[in-house]
Amino acid sequence: MMPGCVPWPPEVARRYREEGLWRGETLGDLLRRSAREHGDRTAVVAAAHGGSGPVRWSYRELDERADRLAAGLRASGVRPGDRVLVQLPNVPELVELCFALFRTGAAPVLALPPHRHDEITHLAAHTGAVAYVIPDRHQGFDHRELARRVRGAVPGLRRVIVCGEPEEFTPLDGLRAAPGDAEPGPAPEDVALFLLSGGTTGRSKLIPRTHDDYLCNIRLSAANARLGPGDVYLAALPIAHNYALGCPGVLGALHAGGTVVLPPTPSPDDAFPLIERERVTVTGLVPSLARLWTEAAAWSGHDLSSLRLVQVGGAAVGPELARAVGERLGRVQQSFGMAEGLLSQSPPDDPPDLLATTQGRPLSAADEVRVVDEEGRDVPAGQTGELLVRGPYTIRGYYRAEEHNAAAFTPDGFFRSGDLARITPTGHLVICGRVKDVINRGGDKVPADEVEEHLLAHPRVRAAAVVAAPDPYLGERTCAYVVPAGPAAEAPTQRAISDFMRERGVAAYKVPDRVEVVQALPLTPVGKIDKARLRVRAGAHRDGGEQA
């Protein structure tokens, strides 16, 4: 195990291998096997990008490109155990590069395209990255200028590699070389890649995923989604994020022999024509995008009938949205998970009510799940508490974060997720919010997700987010940010929302103390509502908005 990473206890690792959960394979082996079995089948399809035409690579081509790029990376000095900071959008070269790094034994650190100097400099320095891979420009931003600043701040960053016009840096296209003699690859227990934590406060923490545990993650989610060679997966979300990468995502589709389609953006204008043309069968969306797609599907003239499974996750999904996705797009699969590990996804044969109201079941019998109170004691069955998890694809610690790990993990290795959950008699998870998303209003606990669900049921509300605002008397008050479904002039008033919620039988203390109408909610790079920014805004504008 790489220094700075927390290993699984030897007896636990041995048990996972004996039970067949860890199979002694690497992520580079995944593509090698698929290339042997599906050589001429299409592996990756992408629309035109970076001034080039459309891309359509077979499994054999992708496998050969990964080998040649791995050889070029080795020749440039990238060694097993090195970290390479990767900040590419959803282009085919990102898929090729990841497999090339998996084969060299170097670990990609997957940053998101919207990250800027502060985050990238921190990641490069914290990981000791030897190289940084960027696009030339993306959505009007010149990443080469960012790279100059980062390289000046991180002396150990030896090389900048550019997908596109490199200027003074190394062109990605120029790195590919003829493979030489076979070199020893990584071991299955080695770190394969680093994901970033999805928290919206503070700097992202680094999540080391080994070949063993991430392949377990991929196989379980691909099997649950019933992926096969006939499936076509549209990567609407950033591949650098765990959800679109391996849950089952791009790697799950390639594991199953399917086809990966990369749209230039996730907007219906770009995605719907590709769904129709490529006969896309599976995709994954966050709730904000799912809502946009369901609205667009009502008027779009594109044939979306090939969609058989639409995953929705990454944030709370209300029953109304889940049902709308199932009616207008394709069978919905609620997907709750975390880059740190545990996946809970709806089985395809769940009845409609369970699909709409629960977040599925943990994917492995080896997933150990506890729901505990504030003192760490297990709560009675069916009650709500913090979700703790341990299992064959849940990490035992963040990278180089000893102090944080002491708080985030129990002494016996359970990860404190920070999610509030309850378990139904059928074993399904219901995610009730975040520990920090419970507003303590003078001693009354207000679950933000519950209030948001009621707000979204209002016919004049398109999107909503509820956060705590500091209050000198109650400690915290509830502040609701509401995006109207129509013109701002038709947005519901505070009184209208209060009346609506009380008609629905909601306790008075859960009715928002303040309602602020906004044109849009701020989003994180992966499309989740950025509540950290809303909390700052609520704290800075205590007297703004409509008061109750």
DSSP 381-393: TT--EEEEEESTT
CB 128 within 8 A of CB 173: no
Residues 520, 463: one domain? Answer: yes
**Is residue 336 assigned to a domain?**
no
Residues 458, 523: one domain? Answer: yes
Distance, CA of 220 to CA of 236 (rounded, Å): 21
Residue 341, classed as helix, strand or coil, is: coil
Residues 459, 527: one domain? Answer: yes
**Is residue 87 assigned to a domain?**
no
Residues 429, 486: one domain? Answer: no
Provide the CA 159 distance to its chain's centre, in angstroms: 28
Q: Report the sign of the C-alpha dihedral through residues 487, 490, 493, 499, in that order.
A: negative
Residues 404, 450: one domain? Answer: no
Distance, CA of 434 to CA of 425 (rounded, Å): 22
Beta strands 282-285; 232-234: pairing state: parallel
Residues 470, 539: one domain? Answer: yes
Residues 418, 479: one domain? Answer: no
Question: What type of residue sits at position 1?
Answer: M
Provide the domain limits for residue 463: 442-547
- Domain stop point among 420, 436, 452: 436
Question: What type of residue sits at position 419?
Answer: D
Distance, CA of 14 to CA of 48 (rounded, Å): 46
**Which residue in the block uniquely carries the two structure tokens 């995953």?**
311
**Is residue 205 assigned to a domain?**
no
Distance, CA of 287 to CA of 280 (rounded, Å): 19
Q: How far is CA 286 from CA 240, 241, 304, 437, in A?
A: 15, 12, 18, 18
Residues 477, 505: one domain? Answer: yes
**Is residue 415 assigned to a domain?**
yes
- Domain stop point among 436, 451, 485: 436
Residues 432, 446: one domain? Answer: no
Residues 399, 373: one domain? Answer: yes
Q: What's the confidence (pLDDT) of residue 200?
A: 40
**Which residue in the block uniquely carries the two structure tokens 């299992």?**
391
Q: Which CATH number belongs to the domain containing residue 534 in this structure?
A: 3.30.300.30
Q: What's the confidence (pLDDT) of residue 396?
A: 97
**Is residue 58 assigned to a domain?**
no
Residues of the chain with pLDDT under 70: 48-53, 182, 198-203, 443, 473, 541-548
**Is residue 471 assigned to a domain?**
yes
**Is residue 296 assigned to a domain?**
no
Contact partners, residue 344, CB within 8 Å, separation at least 6: 335, 336, 337, 359, 360, 361, 362, 363, 429
Residues 468, 535: one domain? Answer: yes
The Cβ-side half-sphere exposure at 531, using a 13 Å CA radius, reads 22
Q: Which CATH number belongs to the domain containing residue 393 in this structure?
A: 2.30.38.10
Contact partners, residue 460, CB within 8 Å, separation at least 6: 484, 485, 486, 490, 491, 492, 496
Beta bridge partners of 333: 311
CB 241 within 8 A of CB 524: no
Question: How many domains are there within the chain?
Answer: 2
Residues 390, 460: one domain? Answer: no
**Is residue 210 assigned to a domain?**
no
What does the chain come to in residues?
548
- Domain stop point among 393, 408, 436: 436
